[in-house]
């Protein structure tokens, strides 16, 4: 993983903090993990990564504004913004703190929205909205989805020429929701094949994001990448987050 991209995100975020005179204030950001029920309620399915216990949502609280980030390495953290900006982003835990913090601060400043994951029927409603959006915006295209989000897979696999790659070894090689799930070793070929990359925002936490910033159009989805997408000018789809 190259640090150059994260340095760019840090520089832009630091500039925002300076612009709003936050850097020198005694600001405390607290992150915590959420239970499955707190995070997504009851989405009427049992195969979301959160429900399988492989990921958790880190939640940062900045002056009452909340921002979240999916991660497989989680724990509590409390410290000022300047400490978070100085933190080496060397693992998923630290990147989750950083990304959730960006989301909370950007939300507080009114510069980003939908930084909180949808609940209950939200994932299914979002998937239906995504399928309609893609059909209207792009037409009949070949889509590579990165990251298993069951409601989206079910909505897209039956409507588009579609492939999906995921990092979870329990998913790789299986067929779920009408699509065969491929592993990371298929990513390069799938990127060449696709007309559009539909990429989970969790890639900004797990350090795999750069391989998807190619000449192929990309659309990130979800709440995790809300603030970073605004900072970097990346397109994002999130229909039902709050």
What DSSP string describes 16-50?
HHHHTT-TTS---EEEEE--HHHHH---S-S-STT
**Angle, helix 150-157 to helix 122-138, in steps of 10 degrees:** 40
Dist CA 18 CA 113 (whole Å): 21
Q: Look at residue 114 and tell me if it is in a domain.
A: no
Crossing angle of helices 4-19 and 92-108, rounded to 10°? 30
**pLDDT value, residue 48:** 46
Q: Which residue has the higher pLDDT, 184 or 53?
A: 184
Alpha carbon distance, N-terminus to C-terminus of the chain: 31
Residue scoring higher pLDDT (46 or 68): 68
1-44 tens-digit pLDDT: 568 999 999 999 999 999 999 997 655 566 656 555 665 555 44
44 is in which domain, residue-wise? 4-108
Per-residue tokens: 128: 């239906």
116 lies in some domain: no
* Structural domains counted in the chain: 2
Whether 134 and 97 share a structural domain: no
Q: Mean pLDDT throughout 152-166?
A: 97
Region 35-58 average pLDDT: 57
pTM (2 decimals)? 0.90
At residue 56, the pLDDT reads 80
**Domain end call among 74, 108, 142:** 108
Distance, C-alpha 185 to centroid of its chain: 21
């Amino acid at each position: 993983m190259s640090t150059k991209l994260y340095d760019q995100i840090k520089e832009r975020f630091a500039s925002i903090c300076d612009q709003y005179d936050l850097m020198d204030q005694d600001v405390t950001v607290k992150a915590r993990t959420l239970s499955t029920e707190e995070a997504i309620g009851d989405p009427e399915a049992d195969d979301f990564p959160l429900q399988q216990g492989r990921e958790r949502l880190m939640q940062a609280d900045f002056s009452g504004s909340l921002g979240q980030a999916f991660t497989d390495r989680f724990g509590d953290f409390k410290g000022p913004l300047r400490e978070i900006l100085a933190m080496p982003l060397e693992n998923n835990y630290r990147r989750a703190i950083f990304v959730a913090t960006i989301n909370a601060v950007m939300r507080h400043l009114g510069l980003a929205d939908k930084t909180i994951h949808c609940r209950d029927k939200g994932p299914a409603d979002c998937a239906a909205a995504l399928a309609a959006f893609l059909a209207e915006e792009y037409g009949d295209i070949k889509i590579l989805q990165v990251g298993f989000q069951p409601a989206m897979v079910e909505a897209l696999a039956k409507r588009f020429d579609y492939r999906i790659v995921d990092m979870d070894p329990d998913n790789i090689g299986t067929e779920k929701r009408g699509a065969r799930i491929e592993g990371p070793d298929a990513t390069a070929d799938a990127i060449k094949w696709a007309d559009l990359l539909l990429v989970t925002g969790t890639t900004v936490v797990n350090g795999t994001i750069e391989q998807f910033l190619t000449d192929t159009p990309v659309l990130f989805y979800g709440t995790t990448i809300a603030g970073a997408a605004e900072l970097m000018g990346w397109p994002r789809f999130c229909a039902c987050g709050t």
